[in-house]
């Protein structure tokens, strides 16, 4: 390892796997501005043009360019594939050609079959038979254990988006380990761990863990094989920047080949890779142009990852996202930021190759970040709307680490990258908990009895205390049913679709979080506020079934206006439900965490949710038409904020991170003119706004979109003119050209703040 580690400082990271210590010992903070950045090379332009052409063909082809039907995707299932071998500095494709989708079936053979069929392909009948007869998949396992209540909760969309038919994702392997240590060393460490697990008696957990580590060890062997397929020896550490980027990418490639996971994060690689680039720059073996090209080519590869999914999946998670979430920046400690030149380079890819939804750019914001970097971020946000921001101080405070990575949308690892995973748990609907409290557990859409043993409210006017009692009972049912489903899901996923190479790149002793979620906090808050501060009359049909709620009396406080009365209701609802979730026993003793996040499922949720207590009358703030989309994530209801952008930010930032340690996503849009007329004023204002939201207010997350409603309408009308336009939705960036009509109509509903 001597040559590979030449010039590196520190020793702790040499005595065992400790990437964060290596970064601390060796990185070079960059406090300058973006003037050093380079544009694309000719090779980058040419390669990207080929991709753009292929993407056009993909859209013309109905969304899928090509797909495997008989080769099951594994780490080593395919020969080497290239876009244009001579031009690529970083190589490796999921299949043998770009945009051709691999076939992952362990998560669910039915999902794979349906997905193929939707795009005109047929699953090899022999494979189908084999997986039906001899090899159970995750999906079958889950449904073998699901009970009636879980099925009812699922069917009626009280809980939606559960990873029970495909890969769960949300594991962020520490790809940096490959470059720093080489895979042989990682194998050796796993063998040591396996030996250290020997004991006089084994629980089932012990047996499973021993088996898992064996499986990881073999998968790491396959990872070495994948390197060989492309002509690299990744059993040894990377010796220069090109190798480091390539080694890291091969790890990522192994993940997306192994598993069709719901979210497959990149982790924190920018600052790590900077160390290799800096060394090469100083050794004179690399130029800035070449360095940028390496990062451009890596990002290009991440952009063309394609998983095979069904149209139903697309309805929940539009735009073919893979959530290759890239986490960067933040502070090392109170004095030193983790910003490097390479942090800039990753953002620069948005200029060099145009806008793109992947990697999901996730910036750890801190007031103390160097000004040059903060200004550059604001500029990129204004130009591309491609960045989401998370609160660096909150992460460091709650998870005691400056190496937290974000999985999926907003969900942090519980410490250094590589030390924890999340059992992805989708989300439960708060508004439906409210409607069920009134109906006595009957679904407002299909009228079926979902919760047994609950009596309906039969009063003409809703009484707050009576209602809260009922809500408490419904929450009990939802919390137990929900966590029960998650326990089944992750038990079966470990059993039938274990992500061996991904776990192989993590610590053996892991902190596991069970990442539950809540949808519809805005609507639920406004509804309870209406009951508390106005008067809500229940409208019933001839059978006495509640079909509408009419607000009478005064205007009531709503979430998103910095009104304490409303914000406290939000806090109460969250605490109440999260408390019940946390009381549940979990598979592998996972820690229950919760997010306020919807992705684009706010639309699906909304369509299943009838009238609510805040009414349908536009004269009241917080009104909403029955069976229309909810606002996304932690956003105030579409009809709620009326005191402007700052008040909305204030309200959202009151959400207590202690309750929602899986993150709460606020998707926010501002008219460019609201930020100022001149570009430098816009940059300054956006920077100040982020400082305020994350600093004083302690907000957790912000999706920053900068565009006008007219601009959005123009892009949506003529998408062919804006092939790479993206918009931040709850937790990721959606390519506008891939949005459905419904999603577009929802986008147009969203509040674009025209002023503060």
DSSP symbols for 151-177: HHHHHTTSEE--SSSSB-------THH
Q: CB of residue 472 vs its own copies: minimum separation in angstroms?
A: 15
Residue from 150, 363, 409, 524 carrying the catalytic annotation: 409
Smallest gap, in angstroms, from Cβ of residue 332 to its own copies? 40
The conformational region for residue 245 under phi > 0 = left, psi -120 to 50 = alpha, else beta, is alpha
* Cα atoms in the Cβ-side hemisphere of radius 13 Å centred on 64: 21
The nearest distance, CB 590 to its own copies, in angstroms, is 12
Q: Are 344 and 34 in contact (CB under 8 A)?
A: yes
Active site residue 409: yes
Q: Taking the complex as a whole, how short is the minimal distance between the CB of residue 161 and its own copies, in angstroms?
A: 21
Q: Which residues contact 232 (CB under 8 A, 6 or more apart)?
A: 243, 246, 247, 250
Residue 577 tokens read as: 């439900």
Query: Roughly how many angstroms between the first and final C-alpha of the chain, as a whole number?
Result: 56
Which of 142, 715 has the CB closer to its own copies? Answer: 142
Instruction: Find the shortest distance in angstroms from Cβ 512 to its own copies.
Output: 14
Cβ(52)–Cβ(723) under 8 Å? yes
Least distance from its own copies to the Cβ atom of residue 93, Å: 20
Which is closer to its own copies, CB of 512 or CB of 535? 512
Which CA distances in Å does 665 have to 123, 595, 604, 701?
38, 8, 18, 5
Tokens of 229: 């397929």
Q: Which two tokens stand for residue 87?
A: 């031009």
Query: In what helix (H) or strand (E) does residue 638 lie, and over which residues does it extend?
Result: none
Minimum Å gap between C-beta 467 and its own copies is: 24
Q: Which pair of structure tokens corresponds to residue 67? A: 């797909």
Measured from the CB atom, is 149 or 358 closer to its own copies?
149
* Closer to its own copies by Cβ: residue 134 or 741: 134
Instruction: Give bridge partners of residue 365 from the DSSP assignment.
Output: 391
Measured CA to CA, the distance from residue 561 to residue 568 in angstroms comes to 12
Residues 645 and 673: their CA atoms lie apart, in Å, by 13
Q: How far apart are CA 103 and CA 74, in angstroms?
A: 9
659 membership: H or E segment, kind and range: none
CA distance 633 to 570: 13
- Residue with token string 């409603």: 709
Nearest approach, Cβ of 432 to its own copies (angstroms)?
Answer: 20
Answer for the pair 393, 694: CB distance below 8 angstroms, yes or no: yes
- Among the options 162, 220, 408, 630, which is catalytic? 408
Smallest distance, its own copies to C-beta of residue 226, A = 14
Could you tell me if 95 and 88 are in contact, meaning their C-beta atoms sit under 8 angstroms apart? no
Query: Distances from the Cα of 421 to the Cαs of 58, 411, 755, in angstroms?
Result: 33, 10, 40
Write down the residue that tokens 């669910």 correspond to: 108
Tell me whether residue 208 or residue 679 sits nearer to its own copies (CB atom).
Answer: 208
Tell me how far apart the alpha carbons of residues 608 and 448 are, in angstroms, rounded to a whole number.
13
Rounded to 5 degrees, what are φ and ψ at 69? Answer: -120, -15
**C-alpha span between 516 and 596 (Å, rounded):** 9
Q: Tokens 């274990």 correspond to what residue?
A: 498
> Of the two residues 166 and 328, which places its CB atom closer to its own copies in the complex?
166
Minimum CB distance to its own copies, residue 96 (Å): 18
Please, are residues 662 and 581 in contact by the beta-carbon 8 Å criterion?
Answer: no
Integer Cα distance of 643 and 753 in angstroms:
10
Which chain residues interact with its own copies by CB under 8 A? Answer: 72, 74, 106, 130, 133-135, 141, 143-145, 147-149, 195, 197-198, 200-204, 207-208, 210-211, 214-215, 480, 483-484, 487-488, 491-492, 495, 584-585, 587
Residue 664, H or E segment: strand 663-664
Dihedral of the CA atoms 124, 129, 135, 137 (nearest 10)? 70
Cβ-based nearer residue to its own copies, 361 or 485:
485
Which CB, 191 or 539, lies closer to its own copies? 191
Nearest distance, CB of residue 163 and its own copies, angstroms: 16
Choice between 211 and 333, CB closer to its own copies: 211
Compare residues 483 and 715 and give the one whose CB is closer to its own copies. 483
**Nearer of residues 194 and 328 to its own copies, judged by Cβ:** 194
408 annotated active-site: yes
Q: What are phi and psi of 382, to 5 degrees?
A: -65, -40
Q: Please, what's the b/e burial string for 159-171 (b: 16 or more CB within 10 A of its CB; e: otherwise)?
A: bbbbbbbbbbbbb
Residues identified as active-site: 408-409
């Amino acid at each position: 390892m001597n040559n590979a580690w030449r010039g590196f400082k520190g020793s702790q990271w040499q005595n065992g796997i400790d990437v964060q210590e290596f970064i601390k010992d060796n990185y070079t903070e960059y406090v300058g501005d973006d003037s050093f950045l380079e544009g694309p090379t000719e090779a980058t332009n040419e390669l990207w043009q080929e991709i753009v052409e292929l993407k056009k063909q993909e859209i013309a082809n109905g969304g899928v360019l090509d797909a495997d039907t008989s080769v099951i995707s594994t780490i080593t299932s395919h020969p080497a594939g290239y876009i244009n071998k001579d031009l690529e500095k970083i190589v490796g494709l999921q299949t043998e050609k770009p945009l051709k989708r691999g076939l992952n079936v362990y998560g669910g053979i039915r999902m794979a079959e349906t997905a193929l069929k939707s795009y005109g392909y047929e699953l090899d009948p022999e494979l189908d038979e084999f997986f039906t007869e001899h090899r159970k998949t995750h999906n079958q396992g889950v449904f073998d254990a699901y009970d009636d209540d879980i099925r009812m909760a699922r069917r009626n969309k009280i809980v939606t988006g559960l990873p029970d038919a495909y890969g769960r994702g949300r594991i962020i392997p520490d790809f940096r380990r490959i470059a720093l240590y080489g895979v042989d060393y990682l194998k050796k460490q796993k063998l040591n761990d396996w030996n250290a697990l020997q004991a006089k008696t084994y629980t089932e957990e012990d047996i499973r863990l021993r088996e898992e580590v064996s499986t990881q060890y073999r998968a790491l062997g396959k990872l070495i094989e994948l390197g060989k397929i492309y002509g690299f020896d990744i059993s040894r550490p990377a010796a220069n920047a090109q190798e480091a980027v390539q080694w890291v990418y091969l790890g990522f490639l192994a993940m997306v080949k192994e598993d069709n996971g719901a979210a497959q994060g990149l982790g924190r690689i920018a600052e790590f890779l900077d160390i290799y680039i800096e060394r090469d720059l100083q050794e004179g073996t690399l130029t800035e142009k070449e360095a940028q090209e390496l990062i451009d080519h890596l990002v290009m590869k991440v952009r063309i990852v394609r998983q095979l999914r069904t149209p139903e999946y697309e309805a929940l998670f539009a735009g073919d996202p893979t959530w290759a979430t890239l986490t960067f920046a933040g502070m090392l400690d109170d004095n030193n930021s983790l910003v490097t030149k390479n942090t800039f380079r990753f953002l620069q890819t948005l200029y060099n190759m145009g806008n793109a939804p992947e990697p999901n750019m996730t910036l750890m914001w801190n007031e103390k970040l160097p000004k040059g970097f903060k200004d550059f971020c604001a500029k990129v946000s204004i130009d591309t709307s491609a960045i989401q921001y998370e609160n660096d101080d909150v992460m460091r405070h709650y998870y005691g680490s400056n190496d937290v990575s974000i999985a999926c949308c907003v969900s942090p690892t519980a410490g250094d990258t590589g030390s924890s995973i999340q059992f992805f748990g989708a989300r439960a609907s708060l508004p439906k908990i409210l409607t069920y409290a009134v109906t006595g557990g009957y679904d407002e859409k299909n009228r079926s009895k979902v919760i047994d043993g609950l009596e309906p409210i039969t009063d003409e006017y809703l009484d707050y205390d009576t209602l809260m009692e009922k809500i408490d009972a419904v929450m009990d049912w939802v919390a137990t049913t929900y966590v029960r489903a998650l326990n089944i899901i992750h038990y079966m996923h470990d059993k039938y679709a274990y992500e061996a190479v991904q776990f192989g790149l993590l610590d053996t002793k892991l902190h596991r979080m069970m990442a539950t979620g809540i949808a519809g906090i805005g609507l639920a808050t406004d509804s309870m506020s209406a009951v508390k501060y106005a008067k809500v009359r229940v409208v019933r049909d001839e059978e006495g079934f509640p079909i509408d709620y009419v607000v009478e009396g005064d205007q009531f406080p709503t979430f998103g206006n910095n009104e304490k009365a409303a914000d406290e209701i939000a806090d109460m609802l969250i605490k109440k439900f999260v408390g019940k979730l946390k009381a549940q026993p979990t598979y592998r003793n996972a820690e229950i965490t919760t997010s306020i996040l919807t992705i684009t499922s706010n639309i699906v949720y909304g369509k299943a949710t009838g009238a609510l207590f805040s009414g349908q009358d536009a004269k009241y703030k917080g009104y909403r038409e029955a069976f229309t989309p909810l606002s996304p994530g932690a956003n105030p209801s579409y009809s709620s904020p009326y005191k402007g952008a700052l008040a909305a930010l204030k309200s959202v930032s009151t959400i207590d991170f202690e309750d929602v340690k899986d993150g709460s996503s606020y998707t926010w849009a501002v008219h460019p003119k609201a930020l100022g007329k001149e570009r430098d004023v816009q940059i300054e204002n956006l920077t100040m706004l982020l400082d305020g939201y994350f600093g004083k207010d302690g907000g957790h997350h912000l999706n920053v979109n900068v565009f006008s409603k007219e601009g959005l309408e123009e892009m949506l009308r003529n998408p062919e003119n804006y092939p790479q336009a993206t918009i931040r939705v709850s937790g990721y960036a959606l390519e506008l050209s891939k949005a459905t009509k419904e999603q577009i109509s929802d986008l147009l509903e969203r509040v674009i703040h025209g002023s503060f």
